[in-house]
Structure 1
Amino acid sequence: MSGPRLYTEEEATHQAYDIFLELAPSNLNEQDVETFNQYREELGFIEEGEPDEQWQDFVALEVEADHFLQVLVGLEFENDDVLFAKILISRDKDAPFCHILWKETE
């Protein structure tokens, strides 16, 4: 028996970004959505990496580093980065899962 069928990090990152774009208008305030859309071409960033420890406080499952990817979506301004979403996405093709921590609204 072979192991789980995994998306590549690049595929999972694309999926996470697509989910972010789809859900952002419902989860961010209007100003944040406008700011992101205005600056994403030149200042936008998407960083993927190993999930950090914080996820265990939010999800009731074992976050295995090789089965999950953490994706950060934001804007990189000269004086300050703005993080709009921190996404935990499963790389397992047979066990889809995605959880997003959205930017707090002021």
Structure 2
Amino acid sequence: MRNQRLNDKLSKELSPIFLHIEDESGNHSVPAGSESHFKVVVVSPVFEGLAKIARHQKIYAVLADELKSGLHALSIRAYTAAEWDKEKKHGGYDSPECLGGSKKG
């Protein structure tokens, strides 16, 4: 399904040291099984020397077809290996709460 396609595309293009993909669609006002909202954590040597926006642009470029076919939202964390070593000590991150539809707070 979409989770596997995201994994395959990101793995092929970014050669990640670590890759975590989580379907967060259930936290949003979408039909069950919609696979529309995902969180990705990518640790890749490709990100060395790139600003955060350039890293995100790379990920969006890799997933362009998915964004055209139902992927609605992507929460991204993109790290170099050194940044990831520091981030792991803080326990990662949570995606922001959904403020749309019936889940509006």
TM-score (norm 2): 0.33
| Structure showing the higher helix proportion among its residues | 2
TM-score (norm 1): 0.33
| Structure showing the higher strand proportion among its residues | 1
